[in-house]
Amino acid sequence: MPFDLHQLAAFNAVVAAGSLGRAADAMHVTQSALSRIVRRLEGQVGAPLFERHSKGMQLTDIGLTLLPHSTALLRDAESAKEEIRALLGLAKGTIRVGTVGSIACLILPTALTRTCNRWPTLQVQVVEGVWDRLASALLSREIDLALGAHTDDTDEIVSVPDCRWEDTSYVVASTSHPLRSRPGLSLADTLAYKWAILPRGTEPFEHMNQLFTRHRLSMPDVTVETRSITVLKNLIAHSEFLGWMPEPMYHAELRAGLLDRLPIPGASDTRMLTAFRRTQGLLPLPAAKLLNELRQLTNGVPLR
């Protein structure tokens, strides 16, 4: 079933606005004209896409099914136009990349700097988050490249085999933390303090859980769970909270003398990192340029 991109854009606008009136204002058309566009799309689909109420528009099951496909088609069309115009020298291309926090703190800025120096007309959009957020953004075409911990390929997302590297996570604390003066420091000693880490269900949380299990210890008192890397680092650097994070994530704080790992024997974990892309379709040219810089930077060398 062929779709009209103008009709899909109108459909998405109504979803985003929640009503025909607000969507019409956003698209600079009359409400009656927008209503006709939506009804033509409903006629093509063969079913209502919205339930119309006095307070707005609510998606039907058919509308909910169409929405992710409509969003993907519109993004693909926009990406195609953008790349063609960029190749013709008429517009800037856009790198759309997602990354976990440790990569966002060190290797990605370096790769982006090198890429933008080579191609100064490129623009960049970065999404930072844990893997579930990045996978969702990759599938919805919000991003074209995701950087994170290596995991098994799926039918929809695959890793890039020649772009892999490692980082190592440690128990971290402020440079003035009381545990630094304790002789013969062990992982068990950290159980007396509060912790701040990424939330349950994320890869770093699970890795820390495995670390304590290996040492036959129960999990510590995790008082703060947050997806904000900024909150984590500042809380640990300026209090007696402990944390668990890869060294590239706190590289700047380490150099500033605010954070460092605790000297605990066996309290570390190394993971493989890689780039991911969608299984189907070509990698957009701006993302391919960034990927080439990442390949040259990593080249199988651990980042520790």
Flag the least confident range among 16-30, 73-87, 170-184, 218-232: 73-87
Paired residues of 159 in beta bridges: 276
CATH number, domain of 248, equals: 3.40.190.10
Q: Are 161 and 277 part of one and the same domain?
A: yes
pLDDT at 82: 67
Per-residue pLDDT tens digits for 82-109: 667 656 654 468 899 999 988 888 899 9
| Same-domain check for residues 190 and 237 | yes
**Domain stop point among 42, 74, 106:** 74
Which CATH number goes with the domain that contains 32?
A: 1.10.10.10
> Residue 293: inside a domain, yes or no?
yes
Q: Is residue 181 a part of any domain in this protein?
A: yes
What letter would DSSP give residue 79?
H
Specify if 89 maps to a domain. Answer: yes
pLDDT in tens, 192-204: 999 999 998 888 8
> Considering only CA atoms, which of 74, 115, 111, 67 is closest in space to residue 94?
115
| Domain shared by 157 and 290, yes or no | yes
User: DSSP per residue over 139-187, as a string?
Assistant: HTTS-SEEEEE-----SSEEEEEEEEEEEEEEEEEETT-GGGG-TT--G
Q: Where in the chain does DSSP place strands (E)?
A: 50-53, 56-59, 94-99, 123-128, 145-149, 157-174, 194-197, 221-225, 243-246, 259-261, 268-278
Domain count, the chain: 3
Q: Are residues 212 and 236 in the same domain?
A: yes
Q: Is residue 80 part of a domain?
A: no
Point out the domain boundary residue: 30, 49, 74.
74
- Domain enclosing residue 129, as ranges: 85-165+272-297
Residue 258 and residue 181 share a domain? yes
Q: Give yes or no: residues 134 and 59 share one domain.
A: no
290 shares its domain with 150: yes
Residue 300 has pLDDT above 60, yes or no: no
Supply the pLDDT for residue 84: 73
| Whole-number Å distance between alpha carbons of 42 and 45 | 5
Q: How far apart, in whole angstroms, are the C-alpha atoms of residue 193 and residue 38?
A: 58
In a domain, 140, yes or no: yes
Q: What is the pLDDT of residue 304?
A: 43
Judge if 179 and 227 occupy the same domain.
yes
pLDDT over 90 percentage in the chain: 62
Q: Is residue 79 part of a domain?
A: no
Mean of pLDDT over the chain: 89
List the structure tokens of 93. 């291309």
80 pairs with which residues across the strands? none
pLDDT at residue 284, as a whole number? 85
| Residues 220, 261 within the same domain | yes
In a domain, 283, yes or no: yes
**Do residue 161 and residue 289 come from a single domain?**
yes
Same domain, 48 and 185: no
pTM over 0.75: no
Residue 239 CA to residue 262 CA, distance in Å, equals: 15
Tokens encoding 69? 């496909």
Same domain flag for 13 and 69: yes
